[in-house]
Structure 1
């Protein structure tokens, strides 16, 4: 590309920063970095009542956590600011006035109630609704409405018989008849610009070369293209990303993916794993390659490999990928650094106890590490820290029979005689006991795990027993035996 690539994301600080916004940010970032261009962050905060500094902070924190640094925008500035739309109101007003002077915009004095009635009337007749009121009111009626205190909105005067066409870099050629488009509002009655108007002005002034955004905006593009034409602005390239659906092929819900990016952080997903997963929601590097860091993605990223079909958010795959990163892509030191807050906030230990028993807790965490889909899964290690843990009742009932209880009594007596209580000696003891009693090792391992941990799965049983210690293991086996005998009496 001969000119410098400049892309942007423009989130609104009216809610949390979700998966869809994060993927859009990632694709823009990768495209910019691949072409040695600029990634710009602009905050679309024209909805004064709903925008907040807190949500702006969430956007910035989310991008930082994902590792997506911006070249221009909040906190660092740039040559084309301000980067908050609420600070650019005078700029929009100047361009709006130029449209009025050229007859390409007019003031609309229709009330919201009138527009709603009109819309409902059209819908009741199953007709397409396209609001236009260029010559609806006489000057006398307009004067009356001004006296009544009705504040007008400024509408763009859309040409009636024109075909707008553009080539989308993902979806190909798109055409739209202007007869299907209403005279859309460009300045609201409070003087703030609408999305379609402000983003055209900003993207031009900020020299944006490529607009990469969600496919829900493809319907806005013809409106924006006409504004580019009226202002004689050069056209950017457009690329509209596919919708992200759940595995049920429905819109993402809170149960399936529609969570804040920082929720993923708080649940114990690694940023690197989430970024890797997001990259594959619509884009493919080709071949079987799936595990990639940002450096690798930057090298091979291309809009040509984005599939226009809906992308499927599969949390099972995200958990698999996160587990892979936990096991294989971070050092032990980094793992222990990341897991520490989860050990404390899940209530396994206090910070004081963590510092006092750090060596033991680190051994527990390392033992649990291969089984962690997310870092907060460390809660499943509760049986290492307290006797107040829940037993899997279904698993327990499976072993509540005279044969199993008798075997556990005999094996318990063997454990009592074991001098050096370590994983290797415990395993040798169990396998010898099984062989001498014509049993399979699993006939002891499975019930023993449930008796000691309350669970029917987990890390290596012998390593678990070593960490728990001989006294605690014997006490728990005895406790389950007593519970069984009490239930029988």
Structure 2
């Protein structure tokens, strides 16, 4: 038997990081088993679906390493609508489903409770199809439904506790439960790997598989992804869009690595490992049962490690979208003609050790490409205190006398300026840094001055001095 897994997102918004984790788990499992990864776009919610969301899913999968052409699909659920309706008809004809025209208010009136499920009122009344009548599945009265789950063992559900659930609406359109089952049958899916939030629906879906005469797939319900308050990640509340992390400057390798640690860990006391190790070691039966905490701070630290591990040439290439601006990334504060590739290359290694996401490259190097620095007013107020004007005067005079404009000479010169005033280097260089870069933190000052050059550096220090008049 060829293993066939599927990833079936809906094109109704940005690509969720939890969905990305499910895609990767399916992808790896299929690869390990010599099987097939199928992409199905569940696009039957016409009111919310947009073509750009579908393209967003494809591009997000490309980014995390599941590239177009390496999987089967994408298929579109809407194209299988005829099969969905045919399956509903077969279930009705075989007496595994019946029609019902009860409203929610009708059920509440009979049961006396708004919380009780459907009471089976039309189960044996022989009501035929008609306008506004929903089709309900005839759940077995007795016995149990056992779900074979690679992660959770064999969850068992009493059939008497499963209501006769709707499989087709009053207008004849099949609901998600049935459409999902029919699609999986049509595509020959053998293993369904998905989040545990779908587990309550699984006995219903398994009953549908059996009623349609097809052996159910093997299930694997992975733990749900939660935020720091242990609440399920929500698009309305949490930062969950994979595209947002991509556009902020997270590396695909770091994101892949981190997502696979949500509920699972590689061997040994390690977390940052090559993708080949994850592909080799990942096992569904080793996935934890408890919820997986998506820790953005930890992801950020992961990303910083991945950035620092890049060869400097690759780091320079990776920074280009933020240095030049793209359709998805805001343009930098300098004009294209102001960018100096050689100047950036000269400080790239220094910047590489100081940023955790690629977008941080812009505030670290913008002083190199702007006619004058972007002054952080809070930094200016904090740094430019009594004595700063005279210190800047002394720094200009000392720097003007330098024969060699290099980092070592600049450092020793400014140290001497500070020593005459009884100041350590940190206190001495702070006003100079703000004058030249506009900020109190950033790349090493003296290497920055060397790359910026004598004329531009002195012009900025003089300008800051004049502002202090």
User: Is TM > 0.5 for Structure 1 vs Structure 2?
Assistant: yes
**Of the candidates 429, 446, 465, which is equivalent to residue 449 of structure 2?**
465
User: 3-state SS of the aligned residue for 2:5?
Assistant: strand
User: 3-state SS of the aligned residue for 1:60?
Assistant: helix
Deviation at 1:250, TM superposition (A): 2.6
Correspondence 1:334 to 2:322: no
User: How many residues of Structure 1 are paired with residues of Structure 2 in the alignment?
Assistant: 462
Deviations 1:436-456 (A, max 9, x none): 554322222333222322222
Partner Cα separation in structure 1 for residue 458 and residue 116 of structure 2: 76
TM-score for both structures, normalised by structure 2 = 0.89
Deviations 1:293-336 (A, max 9, x none): 332211111112211111111111111111222221x3333322
* Residue matched to 1:418: 402
* Residue matched to 2:328: none
Deviations 1:256-292 (A, max 9, x none): 7543322222222211111111111111113222223
Correspondence 1:12 to 2:7: no
* Residue matched to 1:264: 245
Partner Cα separation in structure 1 for residue 139 and residue 280 of structure 2: 43
| Partners of 1:408 and 1:477 within 8 A in 2 | yes
| Partners of 2:323 and 2:332 within 8 A in 1 | yes
Correspondence 1:375 to 2:358: yes
Correspondence 1:408 to 2:407: no
TM alignment of 1:18-417, pairs within 5 A: 18-69=16-67, 71-74=70-73, 83-110=75-102, 114-115=103-104, 117-118=105-106, 125=113, 127-130=115-118, 132-135=120-123, 146=130, 150-253=131-234, 257-328=238-309, 330-345=310-325, 346-354=331-339, 357-380=340-363, 381-387=365-371, 389-417=373-401
TM-score for both structures, normalised by structure 1 = 0.86
Partner Cα separation in structure 2 for residue 413 and residue 125 of structure 1: 87
Partner Cα separation in structure 2 for residue 73 and residue 414 of structure 1: 68
User: 3-state SS of the aligned residue for 2:220?
Assistant: strand
Partner Cα separation in structure 2 for residue 193 and residue 410 of structure 1: 80
| Partners of 2:334 and 2:370 within 8 A in 1 | no
User: 3-state SS of the aligned residue for 1:172?
Assistant: coil
Instruction: Indicate how the Cα distance of structure 1 residues 264 and 119 shifts in structure 2: closer, same or farther if over 3 A, else same.
Output: farther
| Partners of 1:45 and 1:85 within 8 A in 2 | yes
| Partners of 1:18 and 1:258 within 8 A in 2 | no
Instruction: Indicate how the Cα distance of structure 1 residues 129 and 45 shifts in structure 2: closer, same or farther if over 3 A, else same.
Output: same
User: 3-state SS of the aligned residue for 1:289?
Assistant: coil
Partner Cα separation in structure 2 for residue 278 and residue 120 of structure 1: 44
| Partners of 1:423 and 1:465 within 8 A in 2 | yes
Deviations 1:128-153 (A, max 9, x none): 323534258786xx79xx5xxx3333
Instruction: Indicate how the Cα distance of structure 1 residues 266 and 129 shifts in structure 2: closer, same or farther if over 3 A, else same.
Output: same
Instruction: Indicate how the Cα distance of structure 1 residues 207 and 440 shifts in structure 2: closer, same or farther if over 3 A, else same.
Output: same
* Residue matched to 1:482: 466
| Partners of 1:197 and 1:224 within 8 A in 2 | yes
Deviation at 1:254, TM superposition (A): 5.3
Q: Choose 291-300 or 186-195, whichever is displaced more.
A: 186-195
Unmatched runs of 5 consecutive residues or more in structure 2: 326-330
Instruction: Indicate how the Cα distance of structure 1 residues 14 and 189 shifts in structure 2: closer, same or farther if over 3 A, else same.
Output: farther
Partner Cα separation in structure 2 for residue 152 and residue 108 of structure 1: 5
| Partners of 1:399 and 1:405 within 8 A in 2 | no
Q: Choose 282-291 or 440-449, whichever is displaced more.
A: 440-449
Unmatched runs of 5 consecutive residues or more in structure 1: 76-82
Deviation at 1:180, TM superposition (A): 2.8
Deviations 1:363-408 (A, max 9, x none): 3444422222222212213222225544344433333333444333
| Partners of 1:336 and 1:362 within 8 A in 2 | yes
| Partners of 1:395 and 1:450 within 8 A in 2 | yes
Partner Cα separation in structure 2 for residue 124 and residue 44 of structure 1: 37
User: 3-state SS of the aligned residue for 1:259?
Assistant: coil
Deviations 1:392-428 (A, max 9, x none): 4443333333344433322221011112212122122
Deviation at 1:199, TM superposition (A): 2.1
Deviation at 1:435, TM superposition (A): 4.7
| Partners of 1:155 and 1:187 within 8 A in 2 | yes
